[in-house]
Structure 1
Amino acid sequence: MKITTLYVYPIKALRGIKLKSARIGPQGIAHDRTFMLFQVSEPDGELKKMQVDSHPQCALFEQELSGGNISVRYHDPENQDQDEQPLVIPLTLNTATLAKINVNLHGSAPSSAYSMGSPYEDWFSARFGFPIRLVYIGDGKRAVLGDTLPPKQHQQTTQNGKGGWLSSLTSYVTERDQEGKPWITFTDVAPLLVTSESSLHDVSARLPADEPMPMYKFRPNIVVDGQGEEAWAEDLWAELTFNNKHKLLLTGNCVRCVSINVDYETGKPAVGELGSVLKKLMKDRRVDTGSKWSPVFGRYAFPAVMQDSQGASFELRVGDEVEVTRRNAERTVWDWPGL
């Protein structure tokens, strides 16, 4: 197999950015989901997380990386000819000048973060039509809950090019907070999400020929072509090796919600067949007993490092070779308390 696409989402829930190469570290792709939008509820000021399922308007915001900044453009479906200046946000900030707040995302909370304030929050508020907090993770750390983490070490057996078998000890790479616990940014439950084009073809086969399902609606980080693997084979993938060197440990299924039904051109639920993709997958893709009402597409992953590896980060590129080097005998079971 090969990598066909790499995506990063500096601001969670906005459109993804395609990359030709990506630096993979303990928290996944550099800068991935280090910012997030929250709706400020009135009059109590409570922060409500904003994701594509609950706030489909997020799909109207395009982001790009340029010169150490994120440039955000709003695509107004009521004014397609609008050409306004993008909002420019630094990728890294001096948090000493920002207000510290606590946020809750998927129960791994409270997690400390920083409110960006004006003019950034004003810009988003004007376009959404309600008060917004743009939050930066900074030195904040979200706990990894449940059984999402892989075992700290496992014995791996792979076949070498001469027909023999080699054994090596592998562990996951993840930074730890002050209490020694692993942490993530504003990614949902793991640093990376891997999907396969073989499975996407199966989804598209359920739709009219002129309306194939786009991969970007599944919001992955790493897309592989799936060559030599059947559709949904990734359900049992436990480890992927890239260029015979770098590894990811796949630890859990990605269970899906109504976000995959959203039309990215209108910022609303899609009409017609593309608005019923979730329902179509319900028929045969509810394969995780830990989340029996949700269909599965893709696998969550953590970077891995061999015992003799140098450093805890590596680079992946579109076109890199990918091999399944370990498979599970049974599907993993979803386990994230409260989600």
Structure 2
Amino acid sequence: MSDTLTLHLQDLYIYPVKSLGGIRLQEATIEARGLRHDRRWLIVNEHNQFMTQRQTSGMALLQVAPAHNGFLITHRTRPDLLPLFVPFEARPERSLFVTIWDDFVFAWRGELAADEWLSKALGCTCRLVYMSDMAMRSVDPALNPADAVVSFADAYPFLLVGQGSLDELNSRLTEPVPMNRFRPNLVFSGGLAHAEDEWQEFRIGELTFRAVAACDRCVVTTIDQITGQKNPETLRTLASYRTLGGKVMFGQNVTGPGYGRLRIGDGLTVVSYK
């Protein structure tokens, strides 16, 4: 029972396009698949297979900013590419099936102009696709209630990380890294390092969440989200003290209530432990 300090929600993030930059929010609405607008868009290659920074580190250079009824994508080092506006939702005129991990998912196509912009930005043929509410992508039923669904996130609706966990990592690094290396939705403060590992059920405000599995980490943690450059120190250092079963763990995958609203500053209470 390591969380002896007052806990509260410090940061809220959504990532409208999987593996592109995030948007920090003051408050957010929860829906069945996670935070509203989180990872509902996905970039796929010419074979309709999902793309991430794992294989295409240049995606880190594509930053996302809020706009009216949508968001803007800009390239950090390509001023010749004017900002691309993407609405929060697509229209169903064109559809296709895409592959993300082991899942085959029905999706709607974005605008051709977005495909062209992203293909120029990333130097390869790619498409932008949207997950509508019609699409069914299930969360692992072995760990979660039946009929639970997820967006284009890797596997779960939410990712939770404690600020204390990042502080512990940074105390071991030559050059500290920001939280954006780990792409969380929910960041809490007030707890000790890796307190979230021990939690099972917890409440943020009046809403109940469940920590179901530790998050195993990959090469994305080594990519500077400003420059797109890789430095293996982050993952190597994490591996030196956070390896379990051959995987490097940091943060918790979480399921939520399917509805409600969160605000920065909301109190966090642990209900039960693993």
Per-residue CA deviation, residues 298-319 of structure 1 (Å, 9 max, x unaligned), is 1111113xxxxxxx52111111
TM-score by length of 2: 0.92
- 1:13 paired residue number: 19
2:164 paired with 1:198: yes
8 Å CA contact 1:148, 1:189 repeated in 2: no
8 Å CA contact 2:90, 2:108 repeated in 1: no
8 Å CA contact 2:173, 2:237 repeated in 1: no
Counting aligned pairs with the same residue, the percent is 27
Matches within 5 A, 1:218-297: 218-225=182-189, 227=190, 229-243=191-205, 245-270=206-231, 275-287=232-244, 292-297=245-250
Per-residue CA deviation, residues 82-109 of structure 1 (Å, 9 max, x unaligned), is 37531011112321x12x21112121x2
- 1:165 paired residue number: none
TM-score by length of 1: 0.75
CA distance in 2 between counterparts of 1:10 and 1:190 reads: 15
Matches within 5 A, 1:28-67: 28-40=34-46, 46-67=47-68
User: Runs of at least 4 residues of structure 1 off by over 6 A?
Assistant: none
Structure possessing the higher radius of gyration over alpha carbons = 1
Matches within 5 A, 1:1-339: 1-40=7-46, 46-76=47-77, 82=79, 84-95=81-92, 97-98=93-94, 100-107=95-102, 109-138=103-132, 139-145=134-140, 147-149=142-144, 152=145, 181-208=147-174, 211-225=175-189, 227=190, 229-243=191-205, 245-270=206-231, 275-287=232-244, 292-304=245-257, 312-328=258-274
Q: Give how far 1:188 is off.
A: 1.1
Q: What secondary structure, in the 3-state scheme, does the structure 1 residue paired with 2:153 have?
A: coil
Q: What secondary structure, in the 3-state scheme, does the structure 2 residue paired with 1:57 have?
A: helix
CA distance in 1 between counterparts of 2:64 and 2:214 reads: 27
Per-residue CA deviation, residues 165-188 of structure 1 (Å, 9 max, x unaligned), is xxxxxxxxxxxxxxx733211011
CA distance in 2 between counterparts of 1:70 and 1:223 reads: 22
Q: What secondary structure, in the 3-state scheme, does the structure 2 residue paired with 1:295 have?
A: strand
CA distance in 2 between counterparts of 1:231 and 1:136 reads: 36
CA distance in 1 between counterparts of 2:31 and 2:111 reads: 29
Q: Give how far 1:56 is off.
A: 1.0
CA distance in 1 between counterparts of 2:224 and 2:28 reads: 27
CA distance in 1 between counterparts of 2:81 and 2:218 reads: 32
Per-residue CA deviation, residues 169-212 of structure 1 (Å, 9 max, x unaligned), is xxxxxxxxxxx73321101111111100111011101112xx21
How many residues are treated as equivalent by the alignment? Answer: 267
CA distance in 2 between counterparts of 1:93 and 1:277 reads: 37
Q: Which amino acid aligns with 2:194?
A: W
CA distance in 2 between counterparts of 1:282 and 1:7 reads: 26
CA distance in 2 between counterparts of 1:181 and 1:240 reads: 21
8 Å CA contact 1:125, 1:132 repeated in 2: yes
CA distance in 2 between counterparts of 1:239 and 1:182 reads: 17
> Cα 1:110–1:84, aligned 2, differ >3 Å: closer, same or farther?
closer
Moved more, 114-123 or 140-149: 140-149
Q: Give how far 1:144 is off.
A: 1.8
Q: Which amino acid aligns with 1:260?
A: T
Q: Which amino acid aligns with 1:31?
A: H
Q: Give how far 1:48 is off.
A: 3.1
Q: Give how far 1:65 is off.
A: 2.0
Q: What secondary structure, in the 3-state scheme, does the structure 2 residue paired with 1:263 have?
A: coil
